[in-house]
A = this chain, B = another copy of it.
């Protein structure tokens, strides 16, 4: 019998010392409590993932390499499989090492380096083309790392080299539906090569990325016989008898909506804690976006760590204030109210000479939004709470947001959530407990920066806008292709030209949590000065 522990743990990018302590404790737990023969950690365990340009620092690489030796010396009596950036001569490899009896028994260098989407691995690492197996309790065990098993060939090659089972170390980021893609691919590989596969994934939030865990074991028939929880740390053991994994607990999968909500909660929690904040504040408008962000923040950090600020203007409807207060009460969140009129009046007066003979336009709306930004940042600065900004993906796409105004903040939880999904998530959250007043969900969305303003004055209805944006932004479809999917060219052109010309705003937006196949930020790299016109 062979017992393999899957160490699905939350690591801190760059925090080699903290990670080392956690790796050692986890390995000891796996050895002593779980009686595991082998413990497998996620990709690039000692550095966290993705370490980005820290990988260019020789001191950082030296620390990471030293850490592997320190871990090997610290824990014996169990095989430890960990990932680290291996410096060898003048090259850096994304490597998995097997530590046994205080030494590095063997190591495997990642063959397939992803360099698309959020991944830049070819910026740092050299690919290798060697496979690697080691022996434990009479079993031949092969190592692979993440992208390796998304390509055909490598699993088969290991099988042909005599491997009895395959371990794979991963840092596979979440987006909605990704878990199914991931299990499908891995199970196909296992079935195709008739070999069991142990898949260990990272868990935790890192800037824009969520690693969702859900580590699993597929048997040689391509069936999942163990699955760890999604979005939680978990160290579990799976037994192999005569080379076959024994079926054990398979944690249920979240559905699409609930997984998105869980990802957002984890993302906020980890960003706040990992950047050293204790709590968060946000502007609560009575609209759906800030309502959802407040619920996420309270779920992530605890209601006592979150504060809401109501900042009404003369355009704010009574129901906005009422609903905002109702929500803070439902969640048990402290709130403050500051009317923005004195500052708006001051700026209007200060600019009156210069703006003489000009027409009112978006400038006056932006001043209101920016007064709110100044207030929120002042409170964030004074009390050390992270300011969460509440814009959604539809707004980010078309630039329906004020730079340094409602876009001000350190983190943008729902930046990758299209407006229609904001509503779905709000409704989902209310099924757990009713915290978002129903009127917030049913009233027409409005920025409340001008009299009787609603979003549809400026934009196509979200039921039309969101699908167009998904096709244009996430799927790279052309205007003609979107038209062929059943949309009006006028709506398409309006949406696309807004997307094209608002890259400058997105470039200055705070980071937010990726939950779709393509988020803004590192995932979508567009020029600002650009002659490309999609419309």
Closest to A404 in B: B404
A342 partner residues in chain B, CB cutoff 8 A:
346, 349-350
A336 close to chain B: CB less than 8 A: yes
A381 close to chain B: CB less than 8 A: yes
Chain A residues numbered 386-431 whose CB sits less than 8 Å from any CB in chain B: 403-404, 408, 410
A370 partner residues in chain B, CB cutoff 8 A:
373-374, 377-378, 404
A489 close to chain B: CB less than 8 A: no
A180 close to chain B: CB less than 8 A: no
Chain A residues numbered 508-534 whose CB sits less than 8 Å from any CB in chain B: 508-511, 522, 524-532, 534
A507 partner residues in chain B, CB cutoff 8 A:
510-511
Known contacts being A50-B527, A510-B508, is A350 close to B338, with CB within 8 Å? yes
A508 to B407, CA, bound (A): 10
Contact partner of A374 (CB less than 8 A), chosen from B345, B347, B522, B528, is: B347
Contact partner of A476 (CB less than 8 A), chosen from B57, B270, B374, B480, is: B57
A468 to B379, CA, bound (A): 33
The answer to whether B527 touches A14 (Cβ under 8 A) is: yes
Known contacts being A342-B349, A349-B342, A404-B373, is A15 close to B532, with CB within 8 Å? yes
A115 close to chain B: CB less than 8 A: yes
A358 close to chain B: CB less than 8 A: yes
Supply 15 A–B pairs (Cβ within 8 Å), ascending by A: A52-B525, A52-B526, A54-B530, A54-B532, A120-B120, A122-B122, A338-B350, A342-B350, A346-B346, A347-B375, A362-B381, A370-B378, A370-B404, A508-B509, A508-B510
Q: How far is the CB of A391 from chain B (nearest CB, A)?
A: 13
- Residue of A122, A361, A524 with most partner-chain B CB within 10 A: A122
The answer to whether A374 touches B379 (Cβ under 8 A) is: no
A60 close to chain B: CB less than 8 A: yes
The answer to whether A527 touches B355 (Cβ under 8 A) is: no
Q: How far is the CB of A313 from chain B (nearest CB, A)?
A: 12
Closest to A13 in B: B527
Starting from the known contacts A15-B530, A347-B378, 19 additional A-B residue pairs (CB-CB under 8 Å) come to A13-B527, A13-B531, A13-B532, A14-B532, A17-B531, A48-B531, A54-B532, A57-B478, A120-B123, A206-B527, A207-B527, A274-B530, A343-B343, A345-B346, A355-B378, A370-B373, A371-B374, A504-B510, A508-B508
What number of A residues sit within 8 Å (CB to CB) of B? 85
Closest 7 CB pairs of A and B: A15-B531, A14-B532, A274-B529, A59-B478, A14-B530, A404-B404, A346-B346
Bits for A331-354, please: 1 = Cβ < 8 Å to B, else 0. 000001011101101110111001
A13 partner residues in chain B, CB cutoff 8 A:
527, 529-532
A12 close to chain B: CB less than 8 A: yes
A53 partner residues in chain B, CB cutoff 8 A:
524-526
Known contacts being A527-B54, A529-B275, A532-B54, is A410 close to B378, with CB within 8 Å? no
A434 partner residues in chain B, CB cutoff 8 A:
none
Bits for A491-516, please: 1 = Cβ < 8 Å to B, else 0. 00000000000001001111100000
A296 to B526, CA, bound (A): 26
A205 partner residues in chain B, CB cutoff 8 A:
529
A339 partner residues in chain B, CB cutoff 8 A:
350
Bits for A189-230, please: 1 = Cβ < 8 Å to B, else 0. 000000000000000011100000000000000000000000
- Residue of A123, A478, A522 with most partner-chain B CB within 10 A: A123
Contact partner of A120 (CB less than 8 A), chosen from B361, B362, B525, is: B525
Bits for A316-338, please: 1 = Cβ < 8 Å to B, else 0. 00000000000000000000101
A274 to B48, CA, bound (A): 40
A510 partner residues in chain B, CB cutoff 8 A:
504, 507-508
A351 partner residues in chain B, CB cutoff 8 A:
338, 375, 378-379
Q: How far is the CB of A286 from chain B (nearest CB, A)?
A: 19
Chain A residues numbered 363-387 whose CB sits less than 8 Å from any CB in chain B: 363, 366-367, 370-371, 373-375, 377-379, 381-382
